[in-house]
Amino acid sequence: MAACAACRLLLFPLHAPKLPPAPPSFRRQRGAWAGATHCAAEASRAWGGIVEDDLSELLQILPRDLRDNLQNEPRKDQLLEVILDLGRRPEARFLGDSGGQYLRESEISLQELEEAQRAVGEFGGDNRAGIEGTLHRISAIRSRKGMVVGLTCRVGRAVTGHVDMVRDLLNYKESILFLGRPGVGKTTVMREIARVLADEFQKRVVIVDTSNEIGGDGDIPHSAIGGARRMQVPEPSMQHRVMIEAVENHMPEVVIVDEIGTEAEAQACRSIAERGVMLIGTAHGERLANIIKNPTLCDLIGGVETVTLGDDEARARRSQKSILERKAPPTFPFLIEMRERHYWVTHRTERSVDMLLNGKKPLVEVRKRDNTFQVVIERWATYDGDGL
């Protein structure tokens, strides 16, 4: 029993820090999120919160018959993306469906693709574009000659309520890394965390927005990020430089960055964390084990090195002479695996990494929503992620 209690103490502190005090009455209060007044008509059960999607703006770039079909689609509130590929039937994909739904029998013509491309405008170096004033993302597929032969029109939604899953962790003022497959809602969570930290916690928040996915397209950021400031990135390869520039020039208390994917970005995260700035980020991978095995990103969780033990030490540990150990404190003290939109697994990164490297299953918190969309936290659950 004593050993079990010790494990719990090492995983999460027993008492969460107190909530930040209410701001004095003379302090300027930032405006309420605009989506609260012109959001979707209802709180969709599929999303579990109030939704603002500006869907009509996205539908305007589609051919007229597709636009009409989707306007009359009963599940349009759950629309995830529309696929327009040259010479193929247009396809709509919906949240929770493994496949897609064809929108008509005839194929997409080159003229229709060109008209959609003109409506979108210029694509960036990462073949992504947006619609000004919205959170939608349009991604292009090009031929070897550079011609656009396919478009992925992804719906961007501002959703309130997701932050309830991690509000208690924000009180610790420690960095949090989110993992999850594409489409699970990582960027949506980043957006709402930015708003809550800026407006409710009164923090100086800067978003490093590489593809304008968090703050939307255009020079004026979307109201869904509240009072957070947004720095746009000219080219994806410059994201790590803009991250450092944000800290050196604008004195943020929190930096938010989406899709950490290179060694330079991982090193920039460590540099920012060592300056005492809170980081909220996402990375490629579904499980903590994926990051441990990834030589490019493993520095985010402290890095891994091979250590050779002496004979006596190896016998005492009952292990091989060459073992893996974490070589530094993690950049992100908390790591969250977003298994589903409403099912998250929370790690105390340092302890979980050490136990996984030793071939053990760490204790974690499982955060999920019940049938009424209330957050339920199951503490001290045994981790069922992939082993090493």
Neighbouring-strand partners of residue 93: 81, 100
Crossing angle of helices 263-274 and 239-250, in 10° steps, is 20
Residue 20: strand, helix, or coil: coil
Q: What pLDDT, on a 0 to 100 scale, did the predictor assign at position 303?
A: 92
Cβ count near 42 (within 10 Å): 9
Inter-residue contact 285 to 297 (CB < 8 Å): yes
Q: What pLDDT, on a 0 to 100 scale, did the predictor assign at position 387?
A: 45
Work out the end-to-end distance of the chain between its first and last CA atoms, rounded to an integer number of angstroms. 28
Question: Which tokens in the block code for residue 262?
Answer: 């290179």
Q: What is the mean pLDDT of each run of 10 residues along the chain (388 residues)?
A: 43 47 38 41 46 86 94 91 96 87 95 94 88 92 95 90 91 95 89 96 96 90 94 92 97 96 96 96 92 94 84 71 84 96 94 91 92 87 63
Round to whole Å and give the CA distance between 75 and 71.
10
Question: What stretch of H or E contains 123?
Answer: none
Q: State the CATH class of domain 47-156.
A: alpha beta
Give the domain 161-382 fold: Rossmann fold (3.40.50)
Please report, for the chain, the start and end positions of each structural domain, with discontinuous segments joined by +: 47-156, 161-382
Residue 85: strand, helix, or coil: strand
- Residue 334's Cβ-side half-sphere holds a number of Cα atoms within 13 Å equal to 24
Torsion of CA 19, 20, 26, 32, to 10 degrees: -70
Q: How would you classify the pairing of strands 254-260 and 343-348?
A: unpaired
